[in-house]
A = this chain, B = another copy of it.
Amino acid sequence: MIKKNIQRIIQYRMCLLKFQNLGFEKIFSYTLAQEIGVSPEQVRKDFSQFHLRGNKKAGYLIQDILDQINDLLHKEDIHKIIMVGLGNIGQALIKYKGFANRNMQLVAGFDIDPAKLKKTCRIPTFHSKEIPAVVKKENVRLGIIAVPEAAAQEACNTLIEAGIKGILNFAPVMLKTPPDVVVQNISVCGELEALVYVTEKDKQK
């Protein structure tokens, strides 16, 4: 499980960029806190844990904090990602233009279905058997799994075998991986089910 403090650091970064674009140079823990819905103490605690320092009375220098967070998140590099599965989700993410300005790049897509490979696509697409070759050639460390549930573990095994170290998994299964490969799961249905639970519970009150 990925620590919550780093997840918040990622949010702080987006927020700092937003304020910088609005022309601000400094920001207080209070402002940042309000923006992402936590307490100012939480912000200062998080910053403290990552050695992000401000100035007493004068708050934080946005550019300074951004530089340091960018270091933490390795924003000096462009992080290559491959997409396994060219169905609805896979195609949608390939079309998504938001990766570039966060230093992420989808470099290739894969599927076992030749029909899926024929669709015109912004990035090169290959049969899944080419995964190891492309991963090695492009030196990719991250992969997204957007294949049907039944094919997910096999896709995962191929990625691990190819040397992928981080996997974002859209399939509704817990993938089995060695300890040096990290998986993050996204389940749209699961999130909706959780929303049903909490909203129906609220209703009863």
Contact = CB atoms under 8 A, between A and B. Distances in A.
Interface of A: 2, 6-7, 10-11, 14, 35-37, 72-74, 79, 81, 88-89, 91-93, 95-96, 98-99, 102, 104, 141-142, 165-168, 172, 174, 180, 182, 184, 186, 188-200, 202-203
Given A88-B96, A104-B192, A182 B166 contact: no
- The interface residues of chain A, by DSSP majority, are classed as helix
Contacts of A202: 165, 180, 182
A182 B196 contact: no
Given A36-B174, A165-B202, A203-B165, A142 B192 contact: yes
A136 B35 CA distance: 31
* Copies per assembly: 2
Contacts of A14: 172
Contacts of A37: 174
Given A81-B192, A96-B188, A180-B202, 16 more contacts: A6-B194, A10-B193, A72-B197, A74-B196, A88-B92, A89-B92, A91-B92, A102-B192, A142-B199, A165-B199, A166-B192, A166-B196, A168-B192, A182-B202, A184-B191, A186-B191
Nearest to A15: B174
A188 B186 contact: yes
Given A92-B91, A93-B88, A198-B182, A7 B190 contact: yes
